[in-house]
Structure 1
Amino acid sequence: MEEVKTLLAEDEAMLLLDFENALTDAGFHVRAVTNSGKAIEILRSADSPILGVVTDIRFGELPDGWEVARIAREIDPDIPIVYISGHGAVDWPSRGVPDSIMIEKPFTSAQLVTAVSHARRPRRQSDA
């Protein structure tokens, strides 16, 4: 059985590597991609068990990260979403999916790991 993964989508190669290393070092199994189209392809693939999504908002091409998250939630309404962006935080309340997390660049590795850990925490009835 394939391990469940966190899907990481970031188009800046150096940031992608830093984020992937931070999450891997924290014990997450990461599938990292550099574009939103590939992220959506993985989400739609039946053989890719994805437990959470970390996505940049702005890619060099469409679809954007808002769309990646929307598609992820169409596939799994409970999938945790963490947005990472240097520019999109102002749009998060209106464009982000419900119960998502936004962290603004620049951020530390610890902030990323904390956000992903919090997003993936099982919800209790009292949280609803």
Structure 2
Amino acid sequence: MASTICLVEDEPLLRAMTQADLEDLGFDVIAANTCEEAWTIISSGTPLHCLLTDIRTPGAIDGWELARLTREMRPQIGVIYVSGYAGNETKPVAGSIFLSKPYLCRDLEQALATLGVSQ
């Protein structure tokens, strides 16, 4: 059974490309446009192995807060943050990985392997 990744990306083209890359690597992907959508998925108990979230998304919850909430509820889920601009204030959860946009598929594959998330 493939590991499942919750992908949060508000830019449709980038979300579709990242989802396709992850699926090509053998992962199951549940994509969300906002952190609020992702939180609904995460808090529902859907089996997940990793959260891959953009930091800056529209809405009341950003990627930092989503990861914090996720780890409080489900501490075993790996976290990868992505952003073209993280700003000066970072709030990563322990054991997470940050990838700067643009990143390559092999960078994403390596980050997942580092977190122990396998196909």
Normalised TM-score (structure 2) = 0.90
Q: Which has the higher helix share?
A: 1
Deviations 1:29-74 (A, max 9, x none): 111111110100001003x101110000001222000011011101
Aligned to 1:38: 37
| Structure 1 counterpart of 2:5 | 6
Answer with 1 or 2: which has the greater Rg. 1
Equivalent pairs counted in the alignment come to 118
Aligned equivalents of 1:114, 1:89: Cα separation in 2: 24
Alignment of 1:42-121 (within 5 A): 42-46=41-45, 48-88=46-86, 90-92=88-90, 95-121=91-117
Runs (4+) of structure 1 moved beyond 2 Å? Answer: 89-92
Find the aligned partners of 1:120 and 1:108 in 2 and give their Cα distance: 19
Q: TM-score, normalised by structure 1?
A: 0.84
Deviation of the 1:78 alpha carbon = 2.4
Tell me if structure 2 keeps the 8 A contact 1:89–1:104.
no
Structure 2: unaligned runs, 5 residues or longer: none
Secondary structure at the aligned position of 1:112 is classed as helix
3-state SS of paired residue (1:50) = coil
Alpha carbons 1:3, 1:49 under 8 Å: kept = no
What one-letter code is carried by the residue in structure 2 that aligns with 1:60? P
**1:4 offset after TM fit, Å?**
4.8
Would you say the 8 A contact 2:50–2:117 is kept in 1? no
